[in-house]
Structure 1
């Protein structure tokens, strides 16, 4: 028995999807799967792969006897049609509603911002849509706290590390950079996309995550950095373990060099 009334062959290796599907079969008729299980089914992987594994959040107005592995989220009123969808026959919260829920159930302002960014990026959902979903959740615990943070969110952030880097810059004396800035060759062909950039000064900032240690990726990064230098760009590469003040210092130095170069070009 997986949950009451739902069974699998003895010894079968159940995936997370199998367990979510079993809970959906067991759940009351009005049930909607939410939380990290919904985020997982929507393709968010930075947080949902670990969080909520083994526990499925179920929104329902019924009062079922909840089995192990299920967490009931009592509904005061039905979830609006705009905030629900189906994946593989399982009714789950829509991406924007999911972003609000997993953020309000998490701790720490920066973590909530990163979570909203991650769900939005994985599902191609705008921060505006998350704000709209929040308006359909009046009085629910933690929603107002999420709403207050939405101005700091960015649906274009590719990873929590990029989100945290952006937040560090925004809280420093540095100007706010542009996210996911496309840098092209003079021919018009795309050369690379900077995680953050100061376009006027031509400063490109990259967060080099774990995959950048791959030899082929490392060689590609070197080629791109060299080509950016040829095109007059200052490049800042940030890696795990760098101190916040160190990162801000590198970016500030790059901006100083870039502005000095701009003044030189203008005067000449």
Structure 2
């Protein structure tokens, strides 16, 4: 007969085998609804909210102590939320180590200098410059073309640069001093990166436009007689075309009214708006570019 589980003596994340050995939980309770399984042999009490950071701490109980949390996972732990709660936890390990596979944990074997990380939990966490590097090296060339990888990598890099955790100058020195597989893509991404971008989708739209030969200015301020009329997500200044991403949060009545009033003021000054929706961004890059090009021609 199963007994109720007292979770007061359990950590927020714990190895099931170790908790059983210590007499804190039974095999039957590990299968019950008092805990939730994060990874093989790693659990959290059911009342604990699962975040990506929690899962990173859980994964750190399984990996070798030399493993380095990096990429989107390390960025999220550092306050730049690039990973969702159940996204794979990202580690790199020195090339001489073999580890995994474990469902829910992605591990790359690559060169890792000791000064590129510091101790964290039961493993290590990458320092900011290494996090930025792995945001790009994590993108496998075998799975995607280079344009697709830039659409994924540049927005992450934009957000990480915007956080102020690392400077572009530091990354330039790092990227141009290495020979890792994928480093050429990383260098291209760094040239495209712009911390002025205020959202990941906005960055994606900008990358698509730049690859197509356009030169949008992020967060461009439109003024009249010194008075600010509004800011544009992306501006093609010469042709007076404004390209803006409307995510689902723009669908509230208050936000729609705010957007319409701002756009009315700016349209009166000769600007044309191209609005990109979440659905278009997910499925129709060619259509988005065609609409922008048509607006430029009309301008």
User: TM over 0.5: same fold?
Assistant: yes
| Alignment match, 1:132 | 173
Q: Select the residue among 119, 130, 151 that pairs with 1:97.
A: 130
Q: Which residue of 1 aligns with 2:227?
A: 188
Structure 1's 42 and 183: CA in aligned 2 closer, same or farther, altered over 3 A?
Answer: farther
* Cα deviation digits, residues 69-111 of structure 1 (max 9, x gap): 555544545243xx44688998422344223223222243234
Cα displacement (A) at 1:210: 1.6
Confirm or deny that 1:49 pairs with 2:84: yes
Deviation at 1:221, TM superposition (A): 0.8
Pair 215,245 (structure 1): closer, same or farther in 2 beyond 3 Å:
same
Question: Which residue of structure 2 lines up, in the alignment, with residue 112 of structure 1?
Answer: 149
Once residues 256 and 121 of structure 2 are traced to their aligned partners in structure 1, the CA distance between those partners, rounded to angstroms, is: 38
**Aligned counterpart for 2:244 among listed residues 206, 226, 251:** 206
Q: Secondary structure at the match of 1:40?
A: helix
Q: Please say if 1:220 is aligned against 2:255.
A: no
Give, in angstroms, the shift of residue 118 of structure 1: 2.7
77 and 121 in structure 1: CA distance in 2 versus 1, 3 angstrom threshold: closer
2:182 to 118, 132, 142: 142
Native 8 Å contact 2:117 2:127 kept in 1:
yes
Offset, 1:186? 3.3
TM-score (norm 2): 0.65
Q: Does 1:33 find its partner at 2:74?
A: no
Q: CA RMSD in A?
A: 3.7
Q: Which segments of 5 or more consecutive residues in structure 1 lack a partner in the other structure? A: 259-268
TM-score by length of 1: 0.72
Structure 2 distance, partners of 1:249, 1:72, is 40
State the aligned residue count: 251
Report how far residue 38 of structure 1 moved: 1.1
Q: Is the 8 A contact 2:135 2:156 kept in 1?
A: no
Distance 1:75 1:171 in 2: 30
Question: Is 1:158 aligned to 2:198, yes or no?
Answer: yes
